[in-house]
Amino acid sequence: MSKRLLLVGAGHAHLEVLRQLKEESMNDVDICLISPSDYQYYSGMFSGYTEGLYSKEETRVNIRKLAKETGVHFIRKMAKKILPDHHKLICMDGAVYPFDVISFDIGSRSLPPDFFNSVAKSIKPNYHFIDYIEEIRQTSQPLIVGGGAAGTELALSIQAYKERNRLPGQVRLITSETILPGSPSWISNKMKDLLMKKGIQVWENERVQEVEDHYIKTDFGNKVRHTGVLWLGGALSDQIFRRSGTEVDEKGFALVRSTLQFHNYDYLFGAGDCVTMSDHPELPKSGVYAVKQGPVLFENLKNYLTGEPLTDYSPQKNAMYILSTGRKKGFLIYGPLVHHSHRAWKVKNKIDREFMEKYQ
């Protein structure tokens, strides 16, 4: 009898699993992909789409089509809970899917539950991105919450879109830490200068406590007016793993070993933002790691199903980030190094287009 492998979420690592399945199918394995949208939007191109440099089609992968080409059944649903001991997955609509092996690549969330009923929007899961960004970039005082790579990049891209289309208004950015926290101070300061030079108003070390329809209130008692709030604070976990009783870290991300297997369950695998590696708990929630985990995940799923030994994933020490800053300029960060130029954007554009070509 054939075995059933469930892939949950169409994140970076699962895109790679699908791609490799095109070249090497798994015998006697029935594979299903469960994800809530027909498309996977690529965050590396969010800034370019926001500014108006890329089209919708350039920014996304049609996963229904990709699954069909690889002989994988695509099920458009959102997973809610795992019954790990019963080998079952339950979806939001109550549908139940049995499995022999299951793998998660469902990304992270960003909007804290306290603000679920407010006007604040989050682009995660990422199929919300296009609708929300198209709405907010038209408004006169969009407020970005979060000063990390995603927040600064989208603030700059919305500002660039406004300039390009001669739309009045000013982007605002508020963050509970410094700009680009975790980077050396000269890099944070350089990015802050750049944001301000572009006309973006910045509040650092101030936490949003209330979100009202036309303003937010901070822990300093300041009121900041807005015409829309986009929440890009730090990565939060989906509740699925807590709900299922599998071992999680303090934020609710599934704990995995170096083989990308869950603690206590050899037949549960995970990759990308939704997991924390027990041996590398400090690893940032970044697409670059999800991409590198893809080939190891494919090998390990295949080997687990055929009883072969599994391999370990070991993350690279430093990852390179290039943030788009508008008008085709890039802000490249590699460890303590930083470089802001048109050349850096060209490198980013090349990397992102090559990534998409592999899956589109």
Ligand X SMILES: Cc1cc2nc3c(=O)[nH]c(=O)nc-3n(C[C@H](O)[C@H](O)[C@H](O)COP(=O)(O)OP(=O)(O)OC[C@H]3O[C@@H](n4cnc5c(N)ncnc54)[C@H](O)[C@@H]3O)c2cc1C
Instruction: Name the amino acid, one letter, at 286.
Output: S
Please, which residue, 10 or 221, has the CB nearer to ligand X?
A: 10
- Binders of ligand X among 129-158, rule CB under 6 A? 150, 153-154
Nearest 5°: the CA angle 89, 91, 94 is 105
> Is the Cβ–Cβ distance between 113 and 127 less than 8 Å?
no
> Is the Cβ–Cβ distance between 297 and 270 less than 8 Å?
no
Cα(91)–Cα(82) distance, integer angstroms: 9
Choice from 48, 84, 107, 142 touching ligand X (CB under 6 A): 107
- Binders of ligand X among 188-227, rule CB under 6 A? none
CB of 46 to ligand X, least distance (A): 4
Which segment (16-24, 124-132, 161-169, 202-210) binds ligand X by CB under 6 A? 124-132
Please, which residue, 146 or 188, has the CB nearer to ligand X?
A: 146
Choice from 5, 6, 44, 237 touching ligand X (CB under 6 A): 44
Query: Strand 96-98 vs strand 88-91: parallel, antiparallel, or unpaired?
Result: antiparallel
The two tokens of residue 79 are 């997973």
Total residue count of the chain as it appears in this document: 360
Which segment (7-15, 82-90, 132-140, 173-181) binds ligand X by CB under 6 A? 7-15
CB of 169 to ligand X, least distance (A): 20
Residue 286 within binding range of ligand X, rule CB under 6 A: yes
Give alpha helix (H) positions in 198-283. 240-244
- Binders of ligand X among 66-95, rule CB under 6 A? 78-79
Cα(216)–Cα(222) distance, integer angstroms: 8
Please, which residue, 144 or 202, has the CB nearer to ligand X?
A: 144
> Would you list the DSSP string of 79-133?
EEEEEGGGTEEEETTS-EEE-SEEEE----B-S-GGGTTSSEE--TTGGGHHHHH
Choice from 142, 228, 233, 287 touching ligand X (CB under 6 A): 287
- Binders of ligand X among 305-334, rule CB under 6 A? 321
Q: What residues make contact with ligand X under the rule CB under 6 A? A: 8-13, 34-37, 40, 43-44, 46, 78-79, 105-107, 123, 125-127, 150, 153-154, 232, 238, 240, 272-274, 285-288, 290, 321
